[in-house]
Amino acid sequence: MIEYFPMNESHVSSVAQLEKLCFSDPWSERSIASELANPLSCWLVAMDGDQLAGYVGSQTVLGESDMMNIAVSPDYRRRGIAQSLVEALVASLKALDSHCLTLEVRDSNEPAIALYEKLGFSQVGLRKGYYRNPKEDARILRKEWTL
């Protein structure tokens, strides 16, 4: 059974490993650990017992939240875990009086774009050449809700 928790120190090294596996420009373990002490940050993990299945991270400033990253381990994909992580994140952000969640996604990342469309995100912009390794445009997507 998959369970969802706020990230704590015991999760950091597995989150960093999954981050490295999934992204060409990953957050370091130290940067992820520093999110635990950041009052603006909200990171959640999906756990299968002791095994990390996925995570999502966000920061909120003045009622507006940004999703920093989301990833699900290849062994756990297409089971609704990313969807549950985003839904749990939105519930947590509402409790923090946030009213929207914005993110960047690679223009070619079809699985992630399909996920965000399913969850009601809309494109609000495009950042030309935003990503490196390889260089690529970022779609800016946002979901807003009433508190």
Is there a catalytic annotation at residue 55? no
Contacts within 8 Å (CB) and 24+ apart, 19-23: 19/69, 19/71, 21/71, 21/73, 21/74, 22/71, 23/69, 23/71
Binding segment for ligand COA (CB under 6 A), chosen from 24-32, 34-42, 78-86, 121-129, is 78-86
Is there a catalytic annotation at residue 116? yes
Q: Is 67 exposed, middle or buried (0-12, 13-18, 19+ CB in 10 A)?
A: buried
Decide whether 24 or 34 has the Cβ nearer to ligand COA.
24
The nearest distance, CB 115 to ligand COA, in angstroms, is 3
Residue from the set 9, 49, 62, 78 that interacts with ligand COA by CB under 6 A: 78
68 sits near ligand COA (criterion: CB under 6 A): no
Q: For strands 136-144 and 122-131, give the pairing.
A: antiparallel
52 sits near ligand COA (criterion: CB under 6 A): no
The nearest distance, CB 78 to ligand COA, in angstroms, is 5
The nearest distance, CB 141 to ligand COA, in angstroms, is 9
